[in-house]
Chains A and B, each alone.
Chain A
Amino acid sequence: MTVPLIELKKVTKRFGTRTILDRLNLTIFEGDITTIIGKSGEGKSVLLKHIIGLLKPDEGKILFNGKQLKGLTRKERKSFKRQASYMFQNNALFDSLTVFENIALPLREKTRLREDAIKSKVLAKIDQMELSEVTYKYPSQISGGMQKRVALARALVTAPKIILFDEPTTGLDPLRKNAVLGMIAHHQKKIGFTAVLVSHDIPDVFFISNRVAIIDKGKIPFQGTPIELEQSENPVVQEFIKGQTNLKDELTGLNTKQDVKDMLIQEMDSVNRLQESFPVIMFTIDNLEQINKHIGHIAAQQIVQCLAMLIKDHFDTADTSAWYSQNEILMVLPHTGLKKAKQVIDELAIDLQKQEIFQAKSYPKACFSFSILAGLAEAGPGTDMDSLIEQALSHQKIIAHLECIKHGETA
């Protein structure tokens, strides 16, 4: 088995009474890009600072090539430090030095290169990071994104073997963010350094990572490849992966699929006991993929939100509605009669057709059709859930529609 480049064993760190790292174990292999993700304030930066040696653990060991950092000779420790480079979360640029001097500093102080060699190296990095305009400006005179790139250039200029990046993309615009991640991946392939990244940019950062570690409550509950991460059933991992879809549910105000299933089961029970019946409605947004494709993700999201909002407006708050699949909303109406439910669907249909999302002028550049369908089914004693949903789907009728005829006119 290969010896990991850096290994943290049962590392504990406390600040006063707060335990930041709690017997944490982490393995970093040579040549990998390892990403550490975790909520804010979970000690990601503290963890990185332990690896570089800025902070010392209260308990536990940090091994470098199988040897304890503390036990290394002066020379070995120096050589480790020379090989490692650190990019700080808030850049930590020397504010009384210019951009050029900042990037040149590690070369000037730690190598015996001649001044002209240093100059050409630094200028090449400046060029690569598109910083040529600000070469002789001071850090406080340039934008936050530029500062980030200066810090990146400074971390890369000594061609180190290990680079620790503390949130290299935070505060950058999406284009630059991808450029920075791309640059890290590109340099990593070219030079072959070992990278440890702390980042919030899920899932983008997974594309460049070989390994991912999640830090939670001072421990690492998961470390593995991004593919393993995606398939992991660890609840903390699930929480992270769902982090993004959760936002959609929050915005639409709909319940989760599990909620509606629970309610359905509960209602079925009481139906069987009381010999009563209640309606369920299945809404489907037809052609949602087309909208995603022709217009974009935001338009699709707007349509979903609009539908969810109108459903909430028209129905009773006691009714439960939830995503059944990507484009289906299932509603359970335990306190509404079948007739009333039909009436509400009709009202909803009128309102829906008036919405901006059903006006062709909202999409001046695209031509496509889409519709919203609703299907009603009645759950009586002895009905099982699957057949109930099937019944609802088979009864679906179009309640709102947008048709594109030639020049984008509404039918």
Chain B
Amino acid sequence: MAQATNSIFAPFNRLGKVSIAFLGELGAIALFFIHAIALIFSLPLQVRKTIEQVFFIGAKSTLIILLVGLFTGMVLGLQGYYTLVKFGSEGVLGAVVALSLIRELGPVMTALMIIARAGSSMAAEIGIMRISEQIDALETMDINPIRFLVSPRIVASLISFPLLTAIFNVIGIVGGYLSGVCILGINSGIYFNRIEPNVAMQDVKGCFIKAFAFGIIVATICCYQGYFMHMRPGGFGAKGVSLATTSAVVLSCVLVLVVDYVLTSFLL
């Protein structure tokens, strides 16, 4: 009897366990983030290290953001033109491209690109430092590893994400111009004329809010996964680092999209 009851409840037990583990993990990530944020302000400020990280996360990602932004804008222009032309309103192409970029694609695509480029490397680098006891070494020197490794990366992300998103938006609009105006022949004056009245300051603000939020999510999750790679089941050695990197990338991508939906619903 007891066995029968057990087997009935088994799936629920599992579900409960998984949910508790998931919530526990989210809580741990939140605490990790608060800890790292608090340590940003501990003196002396780590200006040099932060600048190095801005260079790595931000400056070195510029080229890829330019490329992706350009082609995203171009394809938006192309798709938008063929859809709008059916309704005879190809004139609003500029507004369509600009609004889709600023409201959605800019922050999301930028975040996804930085996850791929810098987020994975953050997780791997910190994970390797964990397995080779470099983090322990920091602790024995009384250097707070979260302050030393995580805080500069979070600050750097907060600086880099909005800037890269802005670059993405601008180059995307240029891309839309290339395909819409230069290739498909829309009037160039109309393209820009439509952007100006349709894009409100609120859209730009929303874009930056999203960029900040994504910056926090990506830096925190990627650093967290690397930092605590030794706590996960099977998290040993090179395999542990690879698992940590994979889950850092997957988890931050998913969370970026989920948070994007939540933020959009508040901002609209």
Which A positions have Cβ atoms within 8 angstroms of B?
Answer: 49, 52-54, 78, 81-82, 84-86, 88, 90, 92-96, 105-106, 109-110, 158
Contacts and interface: CB of A to CB of B under 8 A. Distances in A.
28 contacts: A49-B136, A52-B140, A53-B139, A54-B139, A54-B140, A78-B142, A81-B140, A81-B142, A84-B140, A85-B140, A85-B141, A86-B137, A88-B133, A90-B132, A90-B133, A92-B132, A92-B136, A92-B137, A93-B134, A94-B129, A95-B128, A95-B132, A95-B134, A106-B141, A106-B143, A109-B141, A109-B143, A158-B141
B183 to A, nearest CB: 45
B143 A86 contact: no
Given A90-B132, A92-B132, A109 B148 contact: yes
Interface string B119-162: 00000010011001110110111110000100000000000000
A306 B136 CA distance: 51
A110 B139 CA distance: 12
Cβ-closest 9 pairs across A and B: A81-B142, A86-B140, A92-B137, A92-B133, A106-B141, A109-B143, A52-B140, A92-B134, A88-B133
Interface of B: 125, 128-129, 132-134, 136-137, 139-143, 148
B152 to A, nearest CB: 13
Contacts of A53: 139
B62 to A, nearest CB: 22
Contacts of B129: 94
B141 A105 contact: yes
B137 A110 contact: no
Of residues B125, B136, B137, which shows the largest number of chain A Cβ atoms within 10 Å of its Cβ? B137
B141 A94 contact: no
Nearest to B141: A106
A88 B137 contact: yes
Contacts of B140: 52, 54, 81, 84-86
Nearest to B143: A109
A110 B132 contact: no
B158 to A, nearest CB: 23
Of residues B125, B129, B139, B141, which shows the largest number of chain A Cβ atoms within 10 Å of its Cβ? B141
Contacts of B142: 78, 81-82, 110
A111 to B, nearest CB: 11
